Amino acid sequence: MIFNLPDFRVINTEFLAGELRRIIVESTFPPGCPGCGVISSRRKAGRLQRIRDIPVAGAVELVWAKRRWFCDEVLCGRKSFSEAAPQVPRFARSTARLKQDLVSAVIDSGRAVSETASAYGGVLVAGPAGLGLCRRPAAGCGPAASPDARDR
Ligand SMILES: [Zn+2]
């Protein structure tokens, strides 16, 4: 199966109900400390985070096995940080290509933002990381609901 999200590789695929697949990916992007820029090589624990993405490979639930890393720079104030990649920047919960697709869809079609977002299966919300797609508006997609808020 081709799942070409730049700077990520697929580490596991599970079949869920029906046609739905869960794709677990990890970042291959060098983990640079946001405090000092030094690339870390000492891994801390990680956690799974769901990432919203464009429907490239059918019905897919994308999960990022996101690691935390230690920063060993003596002069750096950060002891650890979680990784990020160009397609999923720090604090983002959807891929850059999904956001780009949403923006393009709005511009190209002239449709309303809300209409376009619903075609992608959610509503568009403005958050700290820019526009995002909220698939479960009832559960809340604001900054308060984001587990990444802990990383600040
Ligand atoms: Zn650092």
Ligand 1 mean position, distance from CA 152 (Å): 14
Higher-confidence residue of 55 and 99: namely: 99
Ligand 1 mean position, distance from CA 149 (Å): 19
Q: For residues 56 and 54, give the distance between their C-alpha atoms in angstroms, rounded to a whole number.
A: 6
Ligand 1 mean position, distance from CA 31 (Å): 11
Residue 130 confidence (pLDDT) above 50: yes
pLDDT digits (tens, 9 = 90+) for 11-33: 999 988 888 889 999 999 999 99
Higher-confidence residue of 94 and 111: namely: 94
Ligand 1 mean position, distance from CA 69 (Å): 10
Kindly give, in sequence order, each residue whose CB lies less than 8 Å from that of residue 37, ignoring residues fewer than 6 positions away. none
Ligand 1 mean position, distance from CA 30 (Å): 13
Ligand 1 mean position, distance from CA 110 (Å): 44
pLDDT band at residue 34 using 50, 70 and 90 as cut-offs: very high
pLDDT digits (tens, 9 = 90+) for 96-110: 998 888 888 777 777
Question: Averaged over 69-93, what is the pLDDT?
Answer: 94
Residue 59 confidence (pLDDT) above 90: no
Domain residues of the chain, as ranges?
1-87, 91-152
Ligand 1 mean position, distance from CA 90 (Å): 15
Tell me what the pLDDT averaged over the chain comes to.
82
Q: For residues 67 and 75, give the distance between their C-alpha atoms in angstroms, rounded to a whole number.
A: 23
What residues sit around ligand 1, an ion, with C-beta below 5 angstroms?
33, 35-36, 71, 73, 76, 78
Question: Averaged over 111-122, what is the pLDDT?
Answer: 70
Ligand 1 mean position, distance from CA 10 (Å): 28
Ligand 1 mean position, distance from CA 80 (Å): 8
DSSP 71-119: ---TT-S-SEEE--BTTB-TT--B-HHHHHHHHHHHHHH---HHHHHHH
